[in-house]
Every structure is written in structure tokens, then in C-alpha cells.
Structure 1
Amino acid sequence: MTTQGDLWLRFNYWFVSNSASLRKWWVLILLGFAVFFIVFSLTNIIVYSISFPREQRLIVRMIDASGLYTGLREQFLPQALATSGAAVVNGTGTKKDFLVKVTNPNEQWVAEKINYTFSLGAHVTEEQSGSVIPAHETYLATYGEEVASDAGSSVSFNIVDVQWKRVSPLSQSVVDVFSVDEVQYRVSSQGQPVRNVGTVTATLSNESFTGFWQAPFTVVLMNGSTPVGISRVYIEQFEERTTRPLSVQWSPAPSRVDSARIIPEVDLYEQTNIMTAQ
């Protein structure tokens, strides 16, 4: 019967007898690992040196593509509307009108529907909607607001959202289609009790060969560069190559007015508003 001591003696005898061979195999194994790591490292260095320029080119292409995308995005997406000069002015009677200057810098985008509000202190107007045609500067307004006397004086304008419509450039702009002449502003005393009434009159001309079912115009009273009154007028069935009178009143009249601006607002892209020949 083989005891544990006999097994241990046999193992020691075998180890001593084959120690030279074991040392040889151990050296070969270490050399094998060393060769493997050297080959692995050299292979990675070679692969990296070959692929690095290609990766650099890919990165440069990605950067160029990103710049191209940004340029295309700026070219094919509308720029934001620019706003300035939000103000509150006297309206009819004791009511107030809110207004702001809005510029659409895009030549191929109509701001078809702009939802907006004004705020004066804690007073916030109901949401209104308006539009601005391409490459056009005008005023958006909210009319006839009952405002508390202690509401404050700081007016802010907030665009809730804008719906854009891409259009093709036209050969004529709205200011080429409509001319505004003989603009006058006068103040007269009317009614009992007597109050000053401001009146703007002008002659509007449709210079185009197209008639419009409805032609809106914004009328702004100015004191220097500051708007002090605003109104919107609609000329119905404004036929081609015709002139129409315009008359707008403010009661009471603003205290200081030195000029009046009349801004045509007709959307020339709105086909349903064009009068077809009978």
C-alpha cells in the first residue's frame, strides 16, 4: 500500500531527475510570452500608424460636414424674428393699446402665424395672433385693454410660437405694390364734452395688376422715433391700378404727434386673397 510519504518521495525524485527539462520548458514559455507581447505591440503600432492619418481625415470630414450642415441649416431654416420697442399707448377712451416693432429678416419665409402676448406688471393680455411677410418691418399690437392705473410702466412682449411658411422670392415687394401719398395728421375738437380727436388721412394706390379682396394697413402715429398711437385698417376689394382714400381717428388724440407711418401688410403669397378676373 502506497502511503502519502511514498508519493511525496516519488514526486521529489521525479522533480530532481527532470529539473533540467523543466527549466528548459519554463524558459521557452517565458520566451513565448515575450515574443507574443512584442509582436502584439509592434502590430498595434503599425496598425495605429496606418490608421491614424485616415482617422484624422475622417475627423476633418466630420468637422467640415458639421460646418456644412450649420450653413445649410442657416440657409434653409428661418432666422428668428427681431423685436424691439414694446410699449403701451393710449387707445380709444380710457383703454390702452400695446405694440411692438417686429422685423422678419427672411426673404423666403412668411411668419404666417405669430402667437404672442404682452405684459405690463401683473397685467397679461390675452394671446393674439398676427403675421409678418418676408423682409418686412411692421408692428404687432393688442388693442383695447383695460389696464389698472397701478399696473406699472415696464412692458414686455412674449412670442408663444411661430408658424413659418417657405415661399419663392417675388419680383415685387409689398412696398412696390402699394404706394402711400398725401399723408396728413390733424387735430380737431369734437363732441360734448369737447375732446381733441386726431385724424390721419392718406391716398393709397394699388400699383399692381392684381386686385386684393382685403388689403390691411397698419397706421402708426410717431413722436420722433417713438410710437404713440396705432391702428389697423382694412381696405375691402382693393382693385388693381386704383386709388383709395384712408382715414383713421384717435379719440382722444395723443398729446404729441409729428408724423404718421402707414405700412402695407398684404400677404402677396396668399392666393385666396387675390381677386381673379371676372
Structure 2
Amino acid sequence: MANTYLSFISDEHLLNCVANLYKSYQKAKNDINKKKFYSNKIDAFKMVFDVKFNNMDEEALIQAEILRQIDKSINNSIGTFHEEILGGIAGYEKGNLSGFDIKAIDNTLFADIKNKHNTMNSSAAESLFQKLKRYADDHKQAKCYWVQILATQSFCEKWTSIINGKEYSHSRVYKISGDQFYKLLTGVDNALFQLYSVLPKVIEDYLKSISAGESEKKQNSALIEIKDGSQKSGRTILNEITYENYQYYLGFDKL
């Protein structure tokens, strides 16, 4: 298998990781129909302020909200992308609903991957520490890591903390930034930077390899559905959204 993009994973594996993320983007876009758009109640008052204070037209406002919902969905997929990349490095594998995200094949390393450093509350942090501690206790040669792909600094250190009033520490439980973890698994100091640098080329190559029809599938229908409803009811787009979300509130059925 060729390694023309990166020295530490094959071109085939890297392209497959990009392909999987592309499919996640497509799915997220296609999933935003009116029902999904309304699944979390729309804040009608905020929409009025956004239109007036941000000088946005109503269609632009809906598009911005759709993009926000898509972005929320994609954040999880970005974490999965890193798990897939790291799982393609020789000597390591990705967990498949196994309790860990990445492990060494010889059980000397276990890791839980978080895309951002601030994605856990105290209860989640406590649960994660206990999980990593169990892996360390069960595998006496293993080092266990909480990986923060996007951290506030570059580090690798023992994870000691007071969580929910309890003091936690273990000789082989660590927390580590994304750049240091990529270095640890690949032996390449700037492996994460190399991945970042090569991505535009890899993405371009992948997009050239798929058919135009596949890259131009119909995307979210929420705006079309809302506009159709607006035209039939004679309401503005903003009032149509408000009516459909709050028609059971006192007075809102008169919109």
C-alpha cells in the first residue's frame, strides 16, 4: 500500500477516512428536512432579534440555523475521523463499541478520544477516569490516555484531578493533547500538523474520484418546505415558523 500523502498511514486508509467523513457531511445535510429542523423548538423571539439586529433576511436566517444544526452533527463525525486515522497506524486499532476508541494491539495502550478539551461535564470526566483506571488495572503494562485533539496547549501528563469532591490519580492514567498523541503513536514529531497540511490535497483527490451525481445529491429540504408553507398560508417565513412551532400558545394561532 502506497504512502504518498503521509509516512505513517497508507493512502488507501487516508482516502477511506476522508470518504467516510464526506458521507457524514452529506447525510447531515440531507437529514435537515422541516421535521428535523423543528425537532428542537425554534426560538421565535431570537429569530426576530437576529433579523433586525443582524440585518439578515429571513431565508438567510434559516440557512444559518440549518448550518448550525449541521455543524453540531458534524462535530461528532470529526472525532470519529481522528479515531479512524489513528486506528490505521501500524500496531494500533480502532475500538468498535468496545469501550475504548484506540488501543495498541498488544494491549499496552488504551485511549479515549475527545475532539475538544471542553466536551465533558464533571460526571462524564469522573466516569472516563474510572474507565481508564479499569483498563490500567486489568492490563498491568498498559498506559491509558484521555486524548484532547483540540486542547488549549501541548502536553502529556498524569491525569490527577479532584472531580465531584473526590481525588483521582493513577500511575498509568494520562491526559494528552492531540499533537502529542499523534507523535506518540506515529513516532513523528509533527504528525498532526502533517495530516492538517495534506488534507486539502487529499480532499481534492477524493472529490475528483467520485461521480458528479454523487457530489451533487439534493441537500436539505427544510427551507423549501417552509417557503412552500409560507406561500400557501400567506404568512411571512418568520411567522410561518413561529406558527408551526407555537400555534398552541395563546394568541399564536392568529398568525
Q: Give the TM-score range, shorter chain.
A: under 0.3
Point out the structure with the larger helix share: 2
Give me the TM-score of the superposition, normalised by structure 1.
0.18
**Which of these two proteins has the greater Rg computed from alpha carbons?**
1
Instruction: Answer 1 or 2: which has greater strand percent.
Output: 1
The structure showing larger relative contact order (alpha-carbon pairs under 8 Å, at least 6 residues apart) is 2
